[in-house]
Amino acid sequence: MEMIEKTRNLAEIFGIMTGDGCIYVDKRRKVYQTTVSGHLSDDYEYLVNYVKPLFEQTLGFSFHIKRYKNFNGIALLNQNRSLVFLLENFGLKRGNKINNNLGIPDWVSKNTDFMEAFLRGLIDTDGSVYCLPKRDHPCISLKTKMPKLMVDFSGCMKVLGIRTTKWTFGSETPQIYIYDRAMVKKFKKVVGFKNIKHIKRYESFMKAPVV
pLDDT in tens, 141-161: 999 999 999 999 999 999 999
Q: Does residue 77 sit in the same domain as residue 122?
A: no
Q: What is the mean pLDDT of residues 9-15?
A: 98
Residue 197 has pLDDT above 90, yes or no: yes
The answer to the question of residue 107 being in a domain is: no
Q: What is the mean pLDDT of residues 34-38?
A: 97
Q: Does residue 32 sit in the same domain as residue 79?
A: yes
Total structural domains within the chain:
2
The answer to the question of residue 105 being in a domain is: no
Q: Does residue 95 sit in the same domain as residue 145?
A: no
Domain range for residue 165? 112-207
Confidence (pLDDT) at 211: 47
**In contact, 184 and 178? CB cutoff 8 Å:** yes
Q: Does residue 188 sit in the same domain as residue 160?
A: yes
Confidence (pLDDT) at 117: 98
Residue 204 has pLDDT above 60, yes or no: yes
Q: Does residue 25 sit in the same domain as residue 57?
A: yes
The answer to the question of residue 137 being in a domain is: yes
Q: Does residue 77 sit in the same domain as residue 155?
A: no
Q: Does residue 121 sit in the same domain as residue 92?
A: no
The answer to the question of residue 189 being in a domain is: yes
Residue 171 has pLDDT above 80, yes or no: no
This model's pTM is above 0.85: yes
Q: Does residue 12 sit in the same domain as residue 58?
A: yes
Cβ-Cβ contacts under 8 Å for 168 (sequence gap 6 or more): 174, 175, 176, 177
CATH code for the domain in which residue 47 is found: 3.10.28.10
Q: Does residue 123 sit in the same domain as residue 69?
A: no
Q: Does residue 63 sit in the same domain as residue 139?
A: no
pLDDT tens digits, residue range 66-115? 999 888 999 999 999 999 999 999 999 999 999 999 999 999 999 999 99
Instruction: Report the DSSP beta bridge partners of residue 140.
Output: 129, 178
